[in-house]
Chain A
Amino acid sequence: MATLKELAKVEERFVGGHRLCAGCGHGISVRMVLNAAEDANVVVGCATGCLEVASTIYPYTAWNCSFIHSAFENAGATIGGVEAAYKSLKKQGKLDKDFKFVAFGGDGGTYDIGFQSLSGAMERGHNIVYVCLDNEAYMNTGIQRSSATPMGADTTTSPAGKVVPGKQQPRKDLTAIMAAHNIPYAAQTAISNWQDVHRKAKKAFDVEGPAFINILSPCPRGWRYNTPDIVELVKAAVETRFWPMYEVENGKWKLNYKPKKYVPIEEFLKPQGRFRHLFAPGNEHMIKAIQEEIDNRWLALLERCGETPELPPK
């Protein structure tokens, strides 16, 4: 693995001057992923969302590489189309440079509205990388719930009130759904472990055919935590097994990190304003339900990865 000293010499592909909020997780995630492409030529596509809106305000672009717009629902189709056109031009001998293709979409643009477009692009087998920047809600339009929003979260369309304590449904497991497309590479990663992000992004760029990466990308506005604590918070997401790090390569599931001890989900929930109501008397059942959900998913994941299905020691 390259060292940070080496990686810092790679040309910056996502420059300052973009208009993401101070401390936005998207800026970190995108810089890590694009850095892993090292000296390749890269074409980036983006589903509408905070990242796209904040990085391409006319007449500026924060993308120090080729970039193509698409709508909210079709980043998969757009980047797939660009890759198909590239292949054709290559075949006709009209282009000799090599390119890599990557699309970024938010959770709304990936789990929900862009899902069929992404599923189609994966099934057609384009040589692309699709990265979901999962901040667990539609942030760009003011924090509406998505199918990635965790159970119990307070959003503007799953408001925590006297009767209903936030979102009632658990999250969709998109990474597993992408793996079910039998693509060469699907992975889930977290910025708290930059080596893991780097390795997975590099692998995704290198494999022939479609690759999918899901990154937990905190939004200080929507999650309401102390902005500088982003890495600590993502670490808590991994240690509580809320966000496991794993990869599925050619159908083979592999767990990349196993917490040494049982860390209760409160460690992840407590620092965030969107879960504050869960700690009010009378809502204990919600935390219990969230914990149960996490434990069950963890056991199922271990089984899929060929590990002994047991919870970490308390």
Chain B
Amino acid sequence: MTPFNRNFGQGRNTKAVRLDMNWKELTKAGNIYEPGNAATYETGDWRTIRPVWNKDRCIHCLICWRYCPDASIISTDGKFDSFDYKHCKGCGICASVCPVHAIDMFSEDEIDRREEARKNEE
């Protein structure tokens, strides 16, 4: 699995926060000056099951986009584009609400094992 970014303060304008930081270096009142910078904090490795898209079945209704709690369905021009695997937590809701079963959930362990086996064969 790709390593996930958990380093503090990786946002564009976010002052990096280090564990050895002096309190005087923190922003006043703990203010955060970059809206939505949580996007730079990756939660994808919470996932134990992974949603996989079946392009041929998808009718681009975007119901999955509507119901993802983690805004991890990326759409382009009103169509399903891809999963944001850096943030998707693998809750399985998208697969459950898809009216045409165009999303399947696979075990991350299984995906890793297959990936490993494929690499070993090469």
Contacts and interface: CB of A to CB of B under 8 A. Distances in A.
Interface of A: 3-9, 12-28, 31-32, 55-67, 191, 194, 227-232
A186 B9 CA distance: 40
30 contacts: A3-B78, A4-B62, A4-B65, A4-B66, A6-B78, A12-B36, A12-B71, A15-B39, A15-B71, A17-B38, A17-B41, A20-B69, A22-B47, A22-B70, A23-B89, A27-B68, A27-B69, A27-B70, A31-B71, A58-B26, A58-B30, A59-B8, A59-B9, A59-B14, A59-B15, A59-B32, A60-B40, A61-B35, A231-B93, A232-B96
Interface centre among A14, A16, A58, A61 (most CB of B within 10 A): A16
A59 B90 contact: no
Contact of A31 (B37, B60, B69, B79): B69
Given A16-B71, A23-B89, A31-B71, A60 B62 contact: no
Interface residues of B, number: 50
Nearest to B75: A8
A58 B46 contact: no
B91 A23 contact: yes
Interface centre among B38, B60, B97 (most CB of A within 10 A): B38
Contacts of B65: 4, 8
Contacts of A16: 38-39, 43, 70-72, 84, 86-88
Contacts of A229: 96
A21 B42 CA distance: 14
Nearest to A231: B97
Contacts of B17: 58-59
Contacts of A25: 69
Contacts of A21: 89
B92 A23 contact: yes
Contact of B36 (A5, A23, A64): A64
Contacts of A3: 78
A18 B62 CA distance: 22
A8 B93 CA distance: 18
B90 to A, nearest CB: 6
Chain B residues touching A, majority SS? loop
Given A18-B38, A31-B71, A227-B92, A61 B32 contact: yes
Nearest to A64: B36
A60 B91 CA distance: 22
Given A5-B79, A24-B69, 12 more contacts: A5-B78, A9-B75, A14-B71, A17-B43, A19-B43, A20-B69, A59-B11, A60-B32, A61-B38, A63-B35, A194-B67, A231-B96
What are the 9 closest A-B residue pairs judged by CB atoms, nearest first?
Answer: A27-B69, A16-B87, A5-B78, A64-B36, A23-B91, A17-B38, A228-B92, A22-B89, A228-B96
Given A4-B63, A5-B78, A58-B32, A18 B70 contact: yes
Interface centre among B47, B87, B93 (most CB of A within 10 A): B93
Interface in B1-60: 8-9, 11, 14-15, 17, 26-27, 30, 32, 34-43, 46-47, 60
A67 B36 CA distance: 10
A292 B117 CA distance: 59
B90 A22 contact: yes
Contacts of B111: none
